[in-house]
Chains A and B, each alone.
Chain A
Amino acid sequence: MAAASGGLGFAIARALAAEGCRVGLCGRDGYRIERAAAVIRDETGAEVTPAVADVAEPGATAAWLDGLAGAWGGLDLVVANAGGPPPGRFADTRPKDWDAAYRLTLRSALELAAAARPHLGAGSAVLFMTGPVVRQPVGTLVLSGIMRSGVAALAKALADEWARAGIRVNHLIPGRIATDRVAALDADTASRRGMTLEEARAGYEAQIPLGRYGTIEEFARAAVFLLSDAAAYITGATLNVDGGMIRAIV
């Protein structure tokens, strides 16, 4: 589970551990990833192996996965995750922002897939996460839309390419799940519109049919389902976990 010291990555790692998986985690900050691993170990009793790796740094993900696969003799489940690029309209961006967004959000997924492939066999499963931007545009998340759309296309391409090897590849779209990242996006909205954080959140909740942000546990259960044998005939699929927020009909 990449980028698992907090938020969605942490919740998925914890849910997989609760189902009996051995879990390898990575995060940028040594203290935070060790602490996340300790929490998961305490709660589930699972074997949890934390590592310091920045998925945006070329080679870091490959070294991490090769190390884990070497220790375990292979991998069964791989979940890609990375922070999103900072919000902004296209006019706000500079070429260095494009490059940073590419490394963080899209290249990290490409490297994870390439590094994982030799260690995966029949019955294994891979999951990518994107965002509502791959289904409907958000004017202030231009780079996120571009890079995450690339991740969505990668997931579909890999589902095709790896299916005959018995490897399933799916794609989850979190809506507004209560994480630090979403709180930061809310803060950005609040500052752009001259409102409080609470007002910004209430404004978003009003656009969600279920009327609330999701919890990281709710999101993690969808990941567990798609990675499990219960989803044995599901590959190349995309599933929204968004309380109904996304407006696209299918």
Chain B
Amino acid sequence: MHMGLDGKRAMVLASSAGLGFAVAKALAAEGCRLAICSREAGRIEAAAASIREATGAEVVPTALDVTRAGELTAWIDETAARWGGLDIVVSNSGGPPAGRFDELDPGDWDDAYRLTLRSALETVKAAGPHLGPGSAVVLMTSLTVKEPLGNLVLSMVFRAGVSALAKALADEWAPRGIRVNQLIPGRIVTARVAAMDERTARRRGVSAAEVRADQEAVIPVGRYGSPDEFARAAVFLVSDAASYITGASLAVDGGLIRSIT
């Protein structure tokens, strides 16, 4: 299927590892130019080198902290100025810490807001002026936007805000020919998921492997997904193959989420 991504100018947030890295690499393999970012200079430069080596694409790494107001805007403006505009933006950020509501304090709320919701708001605010007809945005959320998870209250609250933002932007930017969609990763093999499994393992006094086996038992396909499997869905949604898809959400979860539609 023709994806029409050759030469597109793409920015992927939080892309030194995990989902962001896999999406950046998959877009590079389709012929996009890539700008990628994460907090640590060494890690994002290594990620860029790895993508360059695998795909031959132009990859520009930048170290920044998405929770510090203005850093995303500066990065996006500089990247757009270098390339004369942007075609694809994939927003992603770490998830807030796990915990039930009673275990969290206002400092945790504020941190989670900056990390998960405000970073998405700043990304699209900064990217908007640089996007034109035919461009596409994907915001990543999590399965907590479709079903509650009691120990991920902050994720539920702030990722739900990102979902609402994606839908609002799909409406607001459609007349400009900009599509905005939402991807919902289930349990994909990343360092974040491994860390969550380890925390769960410590809490229950079992091994991380046992936790993973328990989690896999409730996933209909019986296994965690790979970052590459997730990335292919992102590639589809930002490509011309999805030209009539905007305001949609797509779960890449091996059937895990229980809501029917």
| Chain A 161-205: CB-based contact to B (< 8 A → 1; otherwise 0) | 001101010010101010000000000000000000000000000
Q: Of the candidates B233, B235, B244, which one forms a contact with A210 in the assembled complex, judged by CB atoms under 8 Å apart?
A: B244
Interface flag for A114 (CB, 8 Å): no
| Chain A 191-224: CB-based contact to B (< 8 A → 1; otherwise 0) | 0000000000000000001110011001101101
- B contact residues around A105 at 8 Å (CB): none
Instruction: State A172–B225 Cα separation when bound (angstroms).
Output: 21
Interface flag for A125 (CB, 8 Å): no
Interface flag for A81 (CB, 8 Å): no
Contacts A222-B242, A233-B230: A159 and B220 contacting too (C-beta < 8 A)?
Answer: yes
| Chain A 223-249: CB-based contact to B (< 8 A → 1; otherwise 0) | 011001011111111111111111001
Q: Of the candidates B171, B233, B255, which one forms a contact with A209 in the assembled complex, judged by CB atoms under 8 Å apart?
A: B171
Closest chain-B Cβ to A83's Cβ sits at a distance in Å of: 21
Evaluate contact between B232 and A231: CB separation under 8 angstroms. yes
Instruction: State A237–B261 Cα separation when bound (angstroms).
Output: 7
Instruction: State A230–B251 Cα separation when bound (angstroms).
Output: 14
CB proximity to A under 8 Å, residues B51-77 = none
Can you name the residue of chain B whose Cβ is closest to the Cβ of A219? B244
Evaluate contact between B171 and A244: CB separation under 8 angstroms. yes
Size bracket of the B interface? 35 or more
Instruction: State A178–B232 Cα separation when bound (angstroms).
Output: 28
Interface flag for B7 (CB, 8 Å): no
Evaluate contact between A152 and B260: CB separation under 8 angstroms. yes
Interface flag for B17 (CB, 8 Å): no
CB proximity to A under 8 Å, residues B190-220 = 219-220
Q: Which of A135, A153, A236 has the most CB of B within 10 A?
A: A236
CB proximity to B under 8 Å, residues A37-78 = none
Evaluate contact between B249 and A210: CB separation under 8 angstroms. no
- B contact residues around A209 at 8 Å (CB): 170-171, 174-175, 246-247
Instruction: State A230–B247 Cα separation when bound (angstroms).
Output: 21
Closest chain-A Cβ to B138's Cβ sits at a distance in Å of: 13
Evaluate contact between B225 and A210: CB separation under 8 angstroms. no
- A contact residues around B232 at 8 Å (CB): 230-232
Evaluate contact between B253 and A240: CB separation under 8 angstroms. no
Evaluate contact between A235 and B254: CB separation under 8 angstroms. yes
Interface flag for B135 (CB, 8 Å): no
| Chain B 217-261: CB-based contact to A (< 8 A → 1; otherwise 0) | 001111001100110110110000111111111111111110011
| Chain B 173-197: CB-based contact to A (< 8 A → 1; otherwise 0) | 0110001001010101000000000
Instruction: State A219–B243 Cα separation when bound (angstroms).
Output: 9
- A contact residues around B256 at 8 Å (CB): 236
Contacts A219-B244, A224-B1, A233-B221: A153 and B171 contacting too (C-beta < 8 A)?
Answer: no
Contacts A233-B229, A234-B252, A244-B174: A153 and B260 contacting too (C-beta < 8 A)?
Answer: yes
Interface flag for A146 (CB, 8 Å): no
Q: Which of B163, B175, B232 has the most CB of A within 10 A?
A: B232
Evaluate contact between B229 and A241: CB separation under 8 angstroms. no
- B contact residues around A242 at 8 Å (CB): 244-245, 247-248
Closest chain-B Cβ to A77's Cβ sits at a distance in Å of: 14
Closest chain-B Cβ to A231's Cβ sits at a distance in Å of: 7
Can you name the residue of chain B whose Cβ is closest to the Cβ of A215? B244
Evaluate contact between B170 and A222: CB separation under 8 angstroms. no
Can you name the residue of chain A whose Cβ is closest to the Cβ of B247? A244
- B contact residues around A240 at 8 Å (CB): 245, 247-248
Instruction: State A224–B2 Cα separation when bound (angstroms).
Output: 11
Evaluate contact between A234 and B244: CB separation under 8 angstroms. no
Instruction: State A235–B253 Cα separation when bound (angstroms).
Output: 7
Closest chain-A Cβ to B88's Cβ sits at a distance in Å of: 17
Interface flag for A250 (CB, 8 Å): yes
Closest chain-B Cβ to A134's Cβ sits at a distance in Å of: 5
- The 9 listed contacts between A and B (C-beta, < 8 Å) are A218-B243, A221-B242, A234-B233, A234-B251, A236-B253, A236-B257, A237-B251, A244-B170, A244-B248
Given contact pairs A163-B222, A209-B171, A215-B244, a sample of 17 additional A-B residue pairs in the complex whose CB atoms are under 8 Å apart:
A163-B221, A209-B246, A221-B243, A224-B241, A225-B242, A228-B1, A232-B229, A233-B226, A234-B233, A237-B250, A239-B250, A240-B248, A241-B248, A243-B244, A244-B247, A244-B248, A249-B167
